[in-house]
Amino acid sequence: MTFDPTNLTYNDAGLIPAIAQDATSGEVLMMAWMNAAAVEKTLATGRVTYWSRSRQAFWIKGETSGHTQELVNFSIDCDRDCLLVTVNQIGAACHTGRRTCFYTDVVDGTETITQAPLES
């Protein structure tokens, strides 16, 4: 079956959540949004491309920071309303400079920061 990005289930804003996972470690790195054109660009170039809701523009991961995501695998969930992009992550995935955006744990009602920003 040929893949057609218009056959995914997008929200009312035309976006679908995309979870980025490290191809080597399996670590969940981040979640961002894609529209159909970002899906097409990602698959065509192998460079993960998101849609920035704040800038209303494409956001190629690492374009300004150098912390790139090279696509390894592109998966669609069973409801076709969420994506999993398995990537080779170079540098930090989070805009805070951390390896992953998921660096705050909540245990017994207390938030704990679990990792510091990477050294540059």
Q: Residue 120 pLDDT more than 70? A: no
- Region of residue 19 (phi > 0: left; psi between -120 and 50: alpha; otherwise: beta): beta
In a domain, 104, yes or no: yes
In a domain, 65, yes or no: yes
Number of domain units in the chain: 1
Q: Grade residue 119 by pLDDT with cuts at 50, 70 and 90.
A: confident
> What is the extent of the structural domain holding 81?
11-113
Q: Residue 4 pLDDT more than 90? A: yes
Residue 46: the pLDDT is 97
Whether the CB-CB separation of 21 and 31 falls below 8 Å is answered with: no
Tokens of 67: 């912390």
Which single residue is written with the structure tokens 């920061």?
113
Q: Say which CATH number the domain at 74 has.
A: 3.10.20.810
Q: Residue 43 pLDDT more than 90? A: yes
- Kindly state the helix (H) or strand (E) to which residue 71 belongs, with its residue range: strand 69-76
The pTM of this model reads 0.92
β-sheet bridge partners, residue 17: 33
In a domain, 94, yes or no: yes
In a domain, 99, yes or no: yes
Question: Pairing mode, if any, of strands 28-34 and 16-22?
Answer: antiparallel
Quote the CA–CA distance of 120 and 110 in Å, as a whole number. Answer: 29
Residue 11: the pLDDT is 98
Reported as a single tens digit per residue, the pLDDT across 10-40 is 999 999 999 999 999 999 999 999 999 999 9
In a domain, 3, yes or no: no
